[in-house]
Structure 1
């Protein structure tokens, strides 16, 4: 279970990006976070895996208080948090297998990683996961030879190689065409159920959030102002989350109007 309590993130002396935020995620549910640009969605995910340091508050993952960790203890805790990125974050010159095995860097020695001496169990598990997501036949292909959807599947497998206790996805479909986006969202949904893995997705496309996630969290100006089932996201709730954003932009994930962006 992920338990976030009274979370605040402030950059410098400005207005906090996250304001006394509370959120609980448990079980194998897949939860989406929606909201306009500047709402704090990406900052929330980066606070959870401590890519940025929270200003105050508590983040507890299965009994471990993440905000208090430093050094080796923090590195060990990060093993339990898988991360899928919008821009894939692959090393283009490396093969698919080598990129996938980077998900095990927290578990093997530096020498083994440099020499690419991966444990046999890790190689076997990588092939199993790659087979599951349909990229096993690309194991020895360079990452820069793949399509966007294939690259994102590599990113998903890399995250799963950590054997995480929660999977975070920061706009995982933003760089993909509509059909591929749907395939990736369905894949994340299926894997969440199969692996009994909670998944937290920051997403702009409200239609995909409604279709593929079990619960939707709406953010505005660093606060959670909606938390419910997809069917409960009625027009009034949408208006509160996206006040001033054209409805077409909400569905397609495009940037909000200049006026709203300036306000956030």
Structure 2
């Protein structure tokens, strides 16, 4: 379970990007975060894995207070937080297998990584996951020879190779065509169920959020102003999230306002 309490993120003396934010994610649910650019969606994800340092508040993953960790303990905790990026973040000159194995860097020695001597169990698991997402045939292909959808599948497998306790996806379909976007969203949804893994997705495409996720969180100006089932995301909710009604920055729940 991921439990975020009273999370604040500020940059300098400006207004906070995240404002006393509370969010809990349990089980194998797929949760999407929607909102206008600047709402704080990406900052929220990056605070969870400590790519961005929270200003204050609590982030607890399965009993571990992530905000209190430093050094070796933080590196160990990050192994359990898989991340799928909008821009794929692959090393183009490396093969698919080599990129996938980078998800195990926190588990093997530096020497083994440099020499690319991956444990047999890691290679077996990589082939298993690549087969599952449909890219096993590209194991020895350089990453720069793949299509966008294939590259994102590599990113998904790399994240899963970490054996994560939660999977974060920051705009995973933004660089893809509509058909491929739907395939990636469907893949993330299916993998969440198969691996019993909670997935938190920052996404601009509201239609995909409604179709492929179990719960939608709407953000506006650093606060959560909607948190409900996709079926509850009506025109009034969309207006508050994207147009900024007078109540949009008060932190209230949509169900209280309706």
CA distance in 2, matches of 1:234, 1:188: 24
SS at match of 1:179: helix
TM-score (ref. length: structure 1) = 0.92
1:167 corresponding residue in structure 2: 167
What are the Cα deviations for residues 139-187 of structure 1, in whole angstroms up to 9, with x where unaligned? 0000000000000000000000000000000000000000000000000
Q: Give 1:171-210 correspondences, 5 Å limit.
A: 171-210=171-210
Q: Is the 8 A contact 2:34 2:204 kept in 1?
A: yes
Q: Is the 8 A contact 2:220 2:244 kept in 1?
A: no
2:33 corresponding residue in structure 1: 33
What are the Cα deviations for residues 23-65 of structure 1, in whole angstroms up to 9, with x where unaligned? 0000000000000000000000000000010000000000000
CA distance in 2, matches of 1:52, 1:214: 27
| Residue 94 (1) aligns with residue 94 (2) | yes
| Residue 132 (1) aligns with residue 137 (2) | no
| Residue 228 (1) aligns with residue 217 (2) | no
2:158 corresponding residue in structure 1: 158
1:2 corresponding residue in structure 2: 2
- Over aligned residue pairs, what C-alpha RMSD do you find? 0.8
2:17 corresponding residue in structure 1: 17
Q: Displacement of 1:244 after TM fit?
A: 6.6
1:248 corresponding residue in structure 2: none
SS at match of 1:59: strand
CA distance in 1, matches of 2:244, 2:154: 37
1:71 corresponding residue in structure 2: 71
Moved over 4 A (4+): none
Q: Displacement of 1:67 after TM fit?
A: 0.2
TM-score (ref. length: structure 2) = 0.94
SS at match of 1:106: coil
Q: Is the 8 A contact 2:215 2:228 kept in 1?
A: yes
Long gaps (5+) in structure 1: 246-264
